[in-house]
């Protein structure tokens, strides 16, 4: 397994295309949710990915929002689910934020069915449930 943490320009073109294809596969196709999946935030984000050779296993991106930092687009590629890679990619995202943006609050927009998962990292709900692109979400903040 290889972990890559960096900007889009730190990745090969093939890696970028692979990441975008998998994100679209998960968030647009699997979740039947048509929306602009690739966005301007990708240009500024720090991208975290776990690879097995040339095969993407898991991914997330970190975004600096000034007063706070967030991570999202957390995916585990279908063939690699059930291997604790979700826990690994979230752990990597939190560690990257703490290293690059020390003492900044970490706030995420979590799909509502993942509240318990993110809660296991110390996140607490900070909003009521709301719909984002037709999917129930809740804002969560890491209690440090």
For the chain, list the domains and their CATH numbers. Answer: 2-104 (3.40.630.30)
pLDDT tens-digit series, residues 4-61 = 999 999 999 999 999 999 999 998 898 888 888 899 999 999 999 999 999 999 999 9
Interval 119-141 mean pLDDT: 94
Q: Which of 20, 50, 54 is nearest to 37 (CA)?
A: 20
For 85-107, the pLDDT digits (tens) are 999 999 999 999 999 999 999 99
Beta pairing partners, 30: none
Q: What is the pLDDT of residue 94?
A: 97
pLDDT (0 to 100) of residue 96: 97
pTM: 0.93
Q: What is the C-alpha separation between 99 and 79, in angstroms, rounded?
A: 31
Question: Is the pLDDT at 74 greater than 90, yes or no?
Answer: yes
* Helix (H) / strand (E) containing 87: helix 85-100
Q: Pseudo-torsion of CA 38, 123, 48, 87, nearest 10°?
A: -120
Q: What is the pLDDT of residue 33?
A: 83
Average pLDDT of 67-76? 96
């Amino acid at each position: 397994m290889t972990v890559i943490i960096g900007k889009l320009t730190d990745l090969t073109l093939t890696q970028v295309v692979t990441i975008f294809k998998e994100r679209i596969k998960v968030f647009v196709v699997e979740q039947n949710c048509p929306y602009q999946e690739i966005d301007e935030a990708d240009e500024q984000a720090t991208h975290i990915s776990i690879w097995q050779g040339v095969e993407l296993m898991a991914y997330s991106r970190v975004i600096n929002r000034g007063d706070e930092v967030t991570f999202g687009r957390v995916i585990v590629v279908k063939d690699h689910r059930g291997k604790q890679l979700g826990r690994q990619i979230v752990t990597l995202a939190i560690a990257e934020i703490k290293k690059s943006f020390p003492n900044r609050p970490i706030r995420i927009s979590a799909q509502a069915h993942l509240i318990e998962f993110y809660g296991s990292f110390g996140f607490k709900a900070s909003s009521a449930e709301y719909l984002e692109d037709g999917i129930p979400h809740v804002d969560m903040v890491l209690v440090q």
